[in-house]
């Protein structure tokens, strides 16, 4: 069960309203790398987790991320406060209000006009938060890696936001939030490596014929080697023919169909065949300008419909 304490985890002191900055801060409120994504990622993992240590840790961190959501939400709310009042009371003349909304810039008009200067669960583009951002699949050797990566990403977005403002109170609170992502990453790393083995993830071993092959699929000036495709642990394949049909087969796809199935498949194919033997007049040709470069080529005569292809 959750309980709420009216004090924030970190005091928020905003120097002055700035709806444009508020809108950028939404990235960490309702954006893909933001605190709701973090909280829900760990919360849903915690609910289904059977390992008692991880379950506890996931609830600990989920709860803290909810508390961070509250901190960043209040930063947004403070930055929007003046504009929210002006819009609600419409104290300015209309043209002034329009200029104010245009002037605040980026997508802050959405926060103002649609959300009334609140703290909506959208990113800085106004795109609503979606659970498609959460990549939990219910296997800890994958989910912990996802969590590690998610913390890394959140740390970076905070770093960028810190670079964008010189308001000392905002900077300080963001610095706290950023630092906590580092701490969380460390916890998830410990929990991952405490699973033995943690690689390869899951239960099935890979096929040894293909687990150490590196296919050089992109070729040309700019080919590089490094430990990711070089050294005794790698078999490096650059012959294009050896990259195809690596099972040694013909590289085609096939299925066994019953006689009935085969005949309807053939019937459908025949009914809808594009006949390669004719050169039909097309709608594009009907609609082409008389002198259209797009349709004509030097020496080409105007064509009757459906002539045989020679």
Q: Can residue 237 be called a binding residue for a copy of itself (CB under 8 A)?
A: no
- Minimal distance in Å, beta carbon 141 to a copy of itself? 6
Residue 279 pairs in a beta bridge with: 307
One of 19, 38, 117, 239 touching a copy of itself (CB under 8 A): 117
**Phi, psi (deg, nearest 5) at residue 101:** -70, -40
- Minimal distance in Å, beta carbon 140 to a copy of itself? 5
Instruction: List binders of a copy of itself among 12-51 (CB under 8 A).
Output: 12-17, 20-21, 24, 27, 30-33, 36, 40, 43-45, 47-48, 50-51
- Minimal distance in Å, beta carbon 216 to a copy of itself? 6
- Minimal distance in Å, beta carbon 46 to a copy of itself? 8
Instruction: List binders of a copy of itself among 66-95 (CB under 8 A).
Output: 66-67, 69-70, 73-82, 84-91, 93-95
One of 119, 239, 302, 304 touching a copy of itself (CB under 8 A): 119
Q: Are 309 and 274 in contact (CB under 8 A)?
A: no
Residue the block writes with tokens 């690596």:
246
- Is 92 annotated as belonging to a binding site? no
One of 2, 239, 302, 304 touching a copy of itself (CB under 8 A): 2
- Is 279 annotated as belonging to a binding site? no
- Is 65 annotated as belonging to a binding site? yes
* Angle between helix 35-48 and helix 52-89 axes, rounded to 10 deg: 150
- Is 216 annotated as belonging to a binding site? yes
Buried b (16+ CB within 10 A) or exposed e, 47-72: eebeeeebeebbbebbbbbbbbbbbb
Q: Answer left, alpha or beta for residue 183, where phi above 0 means left and psi between -120 and 50 means alpha.
A: alpha
Q: Are 144 and 192 in contact (CB under 8 A)?
A: yes
One of 19, 38, 120, 302 touching a copy of itself (CB under 8 A): 120
Instruction: List binders of a copy of itself among 97-116 (CB under 8 A).
Output: 97-98, 101-102, 105-107, 109-110, 112-116
Q: Are 29 and 35 in contact (CB under 8 A)?
A: yes
**Using omega within 30 degrees of 0 as the cis cutoff, is the peptide bond preceding 80 cis?**
no
One of 19, 35, 274, 302 touching a copy of itself (CB under 8 A): 274
Helix (H, G, I), strand (E, B) or coil at 101: helix
- Is 285 annotated as belonging to a binding site? no
- Minimal distance in Å, beta carbon 226 to a copy of itself? 3
Q: Can residue 242 be called a binding residue for a copy of itself (CB under 8 A)?
A: no
- Is 35 annotated as belonging to a binding site? yes
One of 35, 141, 239, 302 touching a copy of itself (CB under 8 A): 141
Measure the CA–CA gap between 176 and 174, rounded to whole angstroms: 5
Cα angle 296-299-300, degrees, rounded to a multiple of 5: 45
Instruction: List binders of a copy of itself among 157-216 (CB under 8 A).
Output: 157, 159-166, 171-172, 175-176, 178-180, 182-183, 185-216
Per DSSP, 153 falls in state H
Total residues contacting a copy of itself by CB under 8 A comes to: 244
Q: Can residue 249 be called a binding residue for a copy of itself (CB under 8 A)?
A: yes
The radius of gyration of the chain from alpha carbons, rounded to an integer in Å, stands at: 30
Residue the block writes with tokens 């040694």:
248
Query: HSE on the CB side for 31, CA within 13 Å?
Result: 20
Per DSSP, 122 falls in state B
Q: Which residues are annotated as a binding site for Mn(2+)?
A: 35, 65, 68, 151, 184
């Amino acid at each position: 069960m959750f309980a709420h304490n009216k004090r924030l985890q970190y005091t928020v002191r905003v120097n002055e309203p700035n709806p444009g900055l508020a809108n950028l801060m939404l990235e960490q409120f309702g954006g893909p790398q933001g605190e709701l994504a973090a909280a829900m990622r760990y919360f849903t993992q915690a609910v289904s987790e059977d390992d008692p240590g991880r379950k506890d840790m996931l609830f600990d961190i989920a709860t803290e991320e909810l508390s961070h959501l509250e901190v960043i939400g209040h930063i947004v709310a403070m930055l929007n406060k003046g504009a929210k009042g002006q819009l609600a009371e419409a104290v300015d003349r209309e043209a002034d209000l329009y200029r104010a909304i245009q002037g605040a810039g980026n997508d802050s008009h959405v926060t103002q006009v649609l959300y009334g200067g609140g703290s909506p669960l959208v990113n800085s583009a106004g795109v609503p938060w979606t659970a498609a951002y959460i990549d939990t699949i219910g296997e800890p050797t994958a989910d912990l890696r996802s969590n590690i990566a998610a913390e890394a990403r959140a740390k970076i977005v905070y770093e960028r936001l810190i670079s964008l403002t010189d308001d000392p109170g905002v900077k300080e609170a963001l610095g706290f939030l950023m630092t906590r992502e580092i701490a969380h990453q460390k916890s998830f790393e410990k929990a991952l490596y405490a699973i033995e083995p943690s690689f390869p993830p899951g239960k099935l071993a890979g096929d040894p014929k293909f687990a150490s092959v590196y296919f050089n699929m992109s070729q040309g000036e700019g080919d590089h080697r490094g430990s990711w495709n070089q050294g005794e642990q790698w078999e490096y394949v650059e012959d294009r023919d050896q990259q195809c049909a690596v099972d040694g087969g013909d590289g085609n796809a096939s299925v066994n169909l019953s006689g009935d199935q085969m005949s309807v498949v053939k019937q459908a194919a025949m009914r809808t065949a594009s006949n390669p033997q004719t050169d039909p007049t097309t709608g594009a040709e009907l609609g082409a300008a008389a002198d259209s470069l797009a349709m004509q080529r030097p020496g080409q005569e105007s064509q009757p419909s459906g002539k045989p292809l020679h």
